[in-house]
Each structure stands twice: as C-alpha cells, then as structure tokens.
C-alpha cells in the first residue's frame, strides 16, 4: 500500500526549486511497511534520559554565548561562537509542554540558487515513545523576509507554512535577556506540523 500524506500541509518529496529533493525524492511509489511490535511498544525514553540543563543551550560553554551566530557546519567566513554548541534536548512534561533556551540563529548563505540565504530557523527532531516514532521539521521566526524566497519553506503548501512559524510570546522570554516564542508541535491530525522540511 502506498504511503499517503496530507497534501494540504506536508511538502512533496520532490520540489524542483529545492535542488536536493531532485536527488533524494523517491523514483518509485512508496510501500507502507507495518510497524514491528518493538516499534509500537518500545523501547521508551526514561525520564533520566535527558538532564534539565540540556534544554538551556546557553549554559554549555565556558561563558555566555555571544548571540546570533552561524551553524557549526556552516563554512561561511563569519566566526563561530565558542560558547554555543548548537544542540540540546528536552523531555516534554505530562501535558506535552517543553521549554528550550537558545540564541536566535542567523541567516546564512547556501548554494541552492544565486543569492540564496536560508532564513533564521531551528531544526527539531521529535521522538514519540520510541525511536521509530520520529518527526523532523524546522521552526521559523515571524516576519522574516527570507521566508518568501526560501525553497525549503516554500515547498510546504501554504496551509502548512503558518504551522512552521513561531509566535512571539514575550511572557515566555527571560526579562531583559531574551525574547520568548511559542511554537506548538503537533504530531497527527489536521493541524499536524509539516514534516521533512
């Protein structure tokens, strides 16, 4: 049975303006494989799998991070922040809430098209109760003018794009230190967060 994805929210596997999809999009129809009992029942992540401090990406260096900076694998000339590792992990509470403290990433150039710059974004890799239950996506920031010319963001149907943009929420910030944003990840249903971006 071929896999089905809601076309109104999730991006297509092939989006020609996003060049790397030309190389990785499936050439044959997908085949759905039934999950094994291990995938549906476990193993589960224990509470001690993640320490509380791992959700604050600003505390992993020898001092506070400098602020907006390029990604560690970015080969741009801009200097990397030695006090920002660029990754963290967090467990949700019993109601699915989470909090991450980080620096806002900067835009960076990429080779997809002439004068192509990726908008500021944060990658999320979300696991369910087991390793096989995974959603990979990106969160974007409101008002970023680069969203209109980013093929990755534009590959998501219009109904799904707004689900990828966080809302400014000052009460979630740290007074005098950091802005706060609210972004809800939804795994299934009509408001599911677009995957694969």
Range 45-55 average pLDDT = 73
| Distance (Å, whole) CA 33 – CA 16 | 27
| Distance (Å, whole) CA 152 – CA 149 | 9
pLDDT at 2: 45
| Distance (Å, whole) CA 56 – CA 102 | 6
Considering the domain 20-182 in this protein, what is its CATH number?
2.60.130.10
pLDDT at 119 over 90: yes
Confidence bin at 37 (pLDDT 50/70/90) = confident
pTM here is: 0.81
Domain ranges (residues) in the chain: 20-182
Q: What is the pLDDT of residues 132-152, one digit of tens each?
A: 678 889 999 999 999 999 999
| Distance (Å, whole) CA 150 – CA 140 | 11
- Residues 169/182, Cβ–Cβ less than 8 Å: yes
Distance of CA 181 to the CA centre of its chain: 14
């Amino acid at each position: 049975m071929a896999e089905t994805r809601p076309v109104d929210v999730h991006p297509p596997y092939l989006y020609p303006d996003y060049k790397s999809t030309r190389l990785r999009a499936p050439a044959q129809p997908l085949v759905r494989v039934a999950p094994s009992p291990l995938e549906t029942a476990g193993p589960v992540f224990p509470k001690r799998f993640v320490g509380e401090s791992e959700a604050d990406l600003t505390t992993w260096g020898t001092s506070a991070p400098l602020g907006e900076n390029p990604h560690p694998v970015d080969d741009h000339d801009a200097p990397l922040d030695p006090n920002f590792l660029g990754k963290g992990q967090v467990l949700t509470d019993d109601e699915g809430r989470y909090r991450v403290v980080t620096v806002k990433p900067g835009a960076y150039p990429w080779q997809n098209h002439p004068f192509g710059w990726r908008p500021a974004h944060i990658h999320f890799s979300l696991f369910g109760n087991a390793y096989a239950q995974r959603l990979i996506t990106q969160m974007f920031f409101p008002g970023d003018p680069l969203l209109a010319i980013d093929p990755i963001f534009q590959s998501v149907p219009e109904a799904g794009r707004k689900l990828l943009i966080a809302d400014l929420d000052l009460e979630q910030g740290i007074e005098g230190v950091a802005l706060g944003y609210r972004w809800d990840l939804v795994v299934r249903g009509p408001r599911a967060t677009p995957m694969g971006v």
